[in-house]
Amino acid sequence: MASGFRIFFIFSVLLTQARLTNASQAYEAGGARPDPAIENALISNEQALAPVRVTWVQKLVSPLSKEELLKALNEKMILLQPETKSVAWDAGKMYVKDRLGSGAEVEYSFDGTVFYMGTPTELLKGRPRPELSKSFNSVRVKKNPNGLLYTLDFFAYSGFRLPSTPRTLSEMKGEHEILWLLRNKAHLASQSEIAGPEGTLRRLVLDAQNQERIEAEQSDIAKLRKIYRDARVPGQVAEEHIRSIEMARQLPAVRTYVFDLDPKTNFAVRAREERYGDQVLCRTRNSAFVEIGGRNIWMPMHSETEFFTYRTRPGFYFASPPFREVIDVQNITGEPLYPTQFVLNYLTPGTEVTDHTAPSGEVFYTIPAGPSELDATLGKVQRQPVSRLNWPVVLIINVLAAVVILFVWLRKARGSVHAKEK
C-alpha cells in the first residue's frame, strides 16, 4: 500500500509543480478599506471561527442528463453521487473526512507537525485493507508547498479560507476571504446597501488579479507533459488538460468578487458572486444561519452555488447554469477539540502503514492480529526496498490517482471559486 499512497502524493504535484516562477500580472491594487464596522466584524469572525467541527452533504444537481452534462462541459467523467464531508479545525490543526457515494472513505489530518492520510474502508476493488500514511508536513512543504490536499467547499462558499496545502497548513491560520483578498492586493471597488428578502444587506465589490489566468501563465507545459508521460496518464486526458491551460491564458486579467453581508448575523456572507465585468461565473446563495458556540459567528446550514462556466472550457459561458452544487449541513458545533482528534491511528489487523516519520527513514509494516504483537512488529520493522513493491498494483493506483487528482483540480475551480494560494 505504502506504494499506493506514495503515488497518490506524487500526483498532487500535478497541481502545482509545473509552474514558472514569474508571471505577467497586469493589475494594480488600490488602498480603499471596508467601513470600520464591517472590517472589524470580518476580523472578529476570522478570529472566532475556531474551534469548529462540521459535517455536510454536497451534491451536484443538473437539469441535464449525465450524458448531456458531460458533453456540455467537454468532460469525460463527473461524480454526481452525494459526497459527505466532516471537517474539524482548531488552532492550526485540521481533520478532513471525505465519504464518497460509493461508501469509500478517505481521511486527512494534521496535528501541527505530522500530516496523515488514510483509507479506513476499501478504496479500490481488490484492496480491502485499511491503509495509512504519515509524513512530516515540514518535509512536504519543501517538496511541494502548494499541492492541493483536499477541497473545503462549505467554508469557501461561507467566506472562509482554511488551509488545504502543505504551505498553508504550516502557517496554521484560517482567513476570511474578503480580508485575504485585501491582503493580497485586491481593490475595493465599491460598498453599498442593498435590499434583500432578509432585509438590508451590505454589498462589497472587489477587483482582484485573475488567479485562474495567473495559474495558467505559470504552468510549465513541457514539464507537465513529462509528468503525465512518466505517470502514463492517457494522452487524450493529458492534452485536454493542457489545452484548457492554454485557453485560460487568454482570460481577462481582472476578476470581480461580489459579497452580500448581513448585519443581523455579524456580516456573515449571504451571497457571493465571481464575474468578468457583467458576466457571472458563479453565484452562491447561503441560508438558514446558526450561531457557532455563542461566539457571534454565524454559518449557513444550506448553500447553493450555480456555475456559468467550467474549467475545461475557459472563456465559454452558459446562458443558464448547467449544474449547481447544493450543500446541506448535518451538524455543526463550536465545542472544544482535543489534540488526539487530529491523530490518525489505525489499529485494525491487516492495516498497511507507510511511516515517513520513523527515525530510520521511510518504513512499511502491517498491523498484526493481536495488539500485544504491535510493539514487537514495530521493533522488527525494516526499511523495504523499492524493488520489492508490487508495481502492477502501483500502476493501477497511479492511473486512478491521476484521474482523481485531475477531477479535484477541475472541481476545485469550477469557475475558479477558490483563488490560488500565494
What value does the mean pLDDT take over residues 390-415?
A: 42
Omega of the bond prior to 51 within 30 degrees of 0, cis?
Answer: yes
Burial pattern 194-216, b for ≥16 Cβ within 10 A else e, equals eeeeeeebbbbbbbbbbbbbbbb
E strands in 175-240: 175-176, 187-196, 199-209
For cell 472562509, name the residue.
Answer: 160
| Residue 90 amino acid letter | D
- Of 96, 132, 113, nearest to 8 by C-alpha is 132
Structure-model confidence comparison of residues 244 and 76, the more confident one: 244
Q: CA dist 2 to 8, 332, 400, Å?
A: 10, 34, 15
* d(C-alpha 51, C-alpha 189), whole Å: 33
Q: What is the pLDDT of residue 216?
A: 86
Q: 257 and 272 in contact (C-beta within 8 Å)?
A: yes
Of 91-105, 165-179, 194-208, which range is least confident?
A: 91-105
Task: Provide, rounded to the nearest whole percent, the portion of the chain with pLDDT above 70.
Answer: 78
pLDDT above 60 (res 109): yes
Q: Are 87 and 53 in contact (CB under 8 A)?
A: yes
Q: Is residue 53 classed as helix, strand or coil in its secondary structure?
A: strand
Q: What is the pLDDT of residues 36-91, one digit of tens each?
A: 999 999 999 999 999 999 999 999 999 999 999 999 988 877 778 899 999 999 98
Q: Give pLDDT, residue 104.
A: 86
Decide: residue 129, CB within 10 A, 0-12 exposed, 13-18 middle, 19+ buried: middle
Cβ neighbours for 76, distance < 8 A, ≥ 6 positions apart: 70, 237, 240
Among 227, 72, 259, smallest CA distance to 158 is for 259
User: How far is Cα 37 from Cα 144, in angstroms, rounded to an integer?
Assistant: 39
Which string of DSSP letters, residue by residue, matches 256-277?
Answer: EEEEEEEGGGTSEEEEEEEEET
| Whether 304 contacts 325, CB under 8 Å | yes
* 188-195 contact pairs (CB < 8 A, 24+): 188/30, 188/32, 188/33, 188/34, 189/256, 191/34, 191/35, 191/38, 194/260
Write the pLDDT tens digit of every residue in 294-338: 999 999 999 999 999 987 888 899 999 999 999 999 999 999 999
Please give the span between the terminal C-alpha atoms of the chain, in angstroms, as a whole number.
Answer: 33
- Tell me the pLDDT band of 192, cut-offs 50, 70 and 90: very high
How much is the pLDDT for 128?
A: 63
The secondary element (H helix, E strand) that includes residue 327 is strand 323-333
3-state secondary structure of 135: strand
CB atoms within 10 A of CB 224: 19
What pLDDT is attached to residue 153? 96
List the beta bridge partners of residue 53: 88, 333
Collapsed DSSP state (helix, strand, coil) of residue 175: strand
* Whether pLDDT at 383 is above 50: no
Q: What is the mean pLDDT of residues 354-383?
A: 72
Q: Given a cut of 50, is residue 421 above it in pLDDT?
A: no
